[in-house]
């Protein structure tokens, strides 16, 4: 599978269904390839992913947009943890 991925120049997150996290400063985060929300409050959001969960900590956290494979959050982000 690894050789095919390299040969076709496909992103690993697509082939292995891994989460892709894009953090823009401490104000916004985009999580791709999620499997749903585990916990949601203005201070902590936990997102389920194929390999565990992602925890976003901060203040005034809010979900701006959610689709079947992307979650877009904003707020004052103070931490991001990845749990397997």
CA–CA gap between residue 31 and residue 82 (Å, rounded)? 12
Contact predicate 31/19, CB 8 Å? yes
What is the arithmetic mean of pLDDT over 46-54?
96
58-64, long-range: CB < 8 A, 24+ apart: 58/26, 63/37
pLDDT tens-digit series, residues 58-70: 999 999 999 999 9
- As to burial, measured by CB atoms within 10 angstroms (0-12 exposed, 13-18 middle, 19+ buried), residue 74 is middle
Query: In this predicted structure, what is the pLDDT of residue 1?
Result: 64
pLDDT of residue 37: 97
For domain 17-83, the CATH architecture is Sandwich (2.60)
Q: pLDDT class for 83, splitting at 50, 70, 90?
A: very high
pTM of the model: 0.84
Domain residue spans of the chain:
17-83
């Amino acid at each position: 599978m690894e050789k095919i991925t390299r040969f076709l120049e496909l992103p690993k997150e697509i082939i292995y269904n891994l989460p892709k996290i894009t953090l823009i400063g401490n104000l916004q985060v985009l999580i791709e390839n999620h499997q749903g929300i585990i916990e949601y409050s203005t201070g902590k959001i936990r997102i389920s992913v194929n390999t565990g969960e992602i925890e976003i900590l901060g203040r005034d956290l809010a979900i701006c947009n959610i689709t079947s494979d992307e979650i877009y959050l904003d707020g004052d982000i103070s931490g991001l943890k990845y749990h397997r």
